[in-house]
Structure 1
Amino acid sequence: MNLLSDILVALVAALHLYFLVLEMFLWDKPAGLRAFGQTLEAARASRVLAANQGLYNGFLAAGLMWGLVADNQPVKVFFLVCVLVAGLFGAATASRKILFVQALPAAIALSLVLFRSTGA
């Protein structure tokens, strides 16, 4: 169970690194336009905001990786809860797709990390 929970935490971290790249570097490129369903004009107008959002996703990824490297359960839990809350907020305010792409993987990983920490 430890290996599975760590694999899922790593997957959530990798997703957030991918979000960082999309939002900071590919926002107004074809890959970013497709991923977020935007026009080039809208992407250019919101590029700075997207880069800021990407930076925050990078911080989430860094926190999750820190938790993995240090094998620190409270750190993993904290950052997974942050990802889950951000995913739920994004799903409620921006796109329901975020519920499945961000919140669901975080919820599954969080469940396994918490299950692991109970010693079950």
Structure 2
Amino acid sequence: MSLIGNVIVGLVALLHVYILILEMFLWEKPAGLKAFRQTKESAAATKVLAANQGLYNGFLAAGLFWGLSLGSAGHDVKVFFLACVLLAGLYGAATASKKILYIQALPALLGLILLNVA
């Protein structure tokens, strides 16, 4: 199960790199507007906040990649960063959009379960 768990960790990390790109670089572009259902006006007004959020998503991805790079010694690092992703996803689902529960929180929860089954 640890191989499948590590695959999930990698996918969650890649997802957060994608979110970083959307929030930091594509926020006011068609892809960012569509992904976050923003108008051009609201995106312009929140560009700095979105870039800040993107940076935090990058830190989550970096932590997950770091844990993967450590091999079996990185178990606790992966668990910590997946827990951070899970909590961020739960908070986002409660405050912003229910779809964050499925896109962010549930994959992190699945990774946590799979890393701790073996």
1:69 shift after superposition? 0.4
Residue in 1 that maps onto 2:108: 106
1:98 shift after superposition? 0.3
Runs of 4+ in 1 over 2 A off after TM superposition: none
1:30 shift after superposition? 0.2
1:114 shift after superposition? 1.5
Residue in 1 that maps onto 2:44: 44
Residue in 1 that maps onto 2:93: 91
Amino acid aligned to 1:104: L
Residue in 2 that maps onto 1:73: 75
TM-score, length basis structure 1: 0.95
Cα RMSD (Å) of the superposition?
Answer: 0.5
Residue in 1 that maps onto 2:57: 57
The number of residues matched between the two structures is 116
Structure 2: gaps (5+ residues): none
Output the CA distance in 2 between the equivalents of 1:51 and 1:9: 23
Structure 1 residues 56-101: Cα deviation after superposition (integer angstroms, max 9, x where no partner): 0000000000000002100000000000000000000000010000
Structure 1: gaps (5+ residues): none
**Identical-pair percentage:** 66
1:115 shift after superposition? 1.3
